[in-house]
Chain A
Amino acid sequence: NAGVTQTPKFQVLKTGQSMTLQCAQDMNHEYMSWYRQDPGMGLRLIHYSVGAGITDQGEVPNGYNVSRSTTEDFPLRLLSAAPSQTSVYFCASSFQGEGGEQYFGPGTRLTVT
């Protein structure tokens, strides 16, 4: 049981490049989400999904796309990277319904130059 895994751990992009951050979980969780963490701002929700085929926007969705074709995977796509997207990105998953523990991945540190 690997929990929530994220790849890569580190990435450097040039402005305008695109890339996909991978997230996978093996706990059969319905709910998955992406957050970004910036100094002094806590974690902010980018996109989330309540099950395969269903996604929705969070607080800061601009510049990011997601899809959920399987229960296990929830990739985050940066279409045209900008320096403002330099951040640490965390994926999380949980069973659907309030009050449950959300399990976080180890994070991807992204730098856009």
Chain B
Amino acid sequence: GEDVEQSLFLSVREGDSSVINCTYTDSSSTYLYWYKQEPGAGLQLLTYIFSNMDMKQDQRLTVLLNKKDKHLSLRIADTQTGDSAIYFCAESGGATNKLIFGTGTLLAVQP
């Protein structure tokens, strides 16, 4: 079945870049998403990329997609303490809104 994998934890210093990685198995995925979850809150969509794109940039966020290796990454430039949260990668495929989520990566930003 479909599977999405992420590393569980990443620690960076304030001002550094963060790179959160994700691998997925469903080659029919047409959209791939990054969601952010702050403590005690729901999920907030950060950005998404269509599967025919290699890269998408949105202010401090850069998404890279390697469709051949089924690898997705999220780079956060100039990471701030307010970026501390859990980041989820998710995929959707076919004519459906159903999302398959990864396990989430806890990003800890040290001052």
A residues sitting closer than 8 Å to B (CB atoms) are 4, 31, 33, 35, 40-45, 48, 50, 58, 90, 92, 94, 96-102, 104-107
CB-based contact B97/A90 at 8 Å: no
**How many residues on B have C-beta within 8 angstroms of the other chain's C-beta atoms?**
25
CB-based contact B42/A42 at 8 Å: no
Q: Which B residues are CB-close (under 8 A) to A102?
A: 45, 97, 99
In the complex, what distance in Å separates the CA atom of A44 from the CA atom of B98?
10
CB-based contact B97/A106 at 8 Å: no
For chain B, residues 38 to 56, give those with C-beta under 8 angstroms from any C-beta of chain A.
40-45, 48, 50
Report how many A-B pairs have Cβ atoms within 8 Å: 60
In the complex, what distance in Å separates the CA atom of A101 from the CA atom of B99?
11
CB-based contact B103/A42 at 8 Å: yes
CB-based contact A43/B101 at 8 Å: yes
CB-based contact A97/B103 at 8 Å: no
**Residue ID in chain A nearest B102 by CB atoms:** A42
For chain B, residues 86 to 109, give those with C-beta under 8 angstroms from any C-beta of chain A.
88, 92, 94-104
Q: Which B residues are CB-close (under 8 A) to A98?
A: 30-31, 92, 94-97
For chain B, residues 16 to 48, give those with C-beta under 8 angstroms from any C-beta of chain A.
30-31, 40-45, 48
Q: Which A residues are CB-close (under 8 A) to B48?
A: 99, 101
Q: Is B4 an interface residue (CB 8 A)?
A: yes
Q: Is B8 an interface residue (CB 8 A)?
A: yes
In the complex, what distance in Å separates the CA atom of A45 from the CA atom of B101?
9
**Residue ID in chain A nearest B31 by CB atoms:** A99
In the complex, what distance in Å separates the CA atom of A41 from the CA atom of B104?
8
In the complex, what distance in Å separates the CA atom of A105 from the CA atom of B40?
11
Most central of B31, B96, B97, B102 by chain A CB within 10 Å = B97
